[in-house]
Amino acid sequence: MLISEDEARTTVEMERMFVVQPAEALWFGYQWQAKGKLLTDGYRYSSDNNTEWLDVDGIKQFVAPFEELYAAGKLEG
């Protein structure tokens, strides 16, 4: 489960990511709500309803920049 129905109540969908806000806004407020779209009631994001999948080449492309940073000593392992 990536985003449960319970977490979806406080989650904002952005263009390229989701922001799961704390249930209580005491520390952070709700500033993300104005920057994205609130999820609908009952929304759930999990492996069985995900529409975006990476093949082996896609995973290699995703990981390559991190490998380069690690090899250059700019990323701790």
**65: left (phi > 0), else alpha (psi -120 to 50), else beta?**
alpha
Distances (CA, A) of 18 to 2, 10, 12, 71: 10, 10, 6, 30
How confident is the model over 19-61, as pLDDT tens digits?
A: 988 877 676 667 778 889 999 999 999 999 988 899 999 999 9
pLDDT of 3 strictly over 90: yes
The domain limits of the chain are 5-71
Predicted local confidence at residue 32, as pLDDT? 76
Where does 1-77 show beta strands of DSSP type E? 11-13, 18-20, 37-38
Joined tokens for residue 35: 């920057």
Beta bridge partners of 45: 3
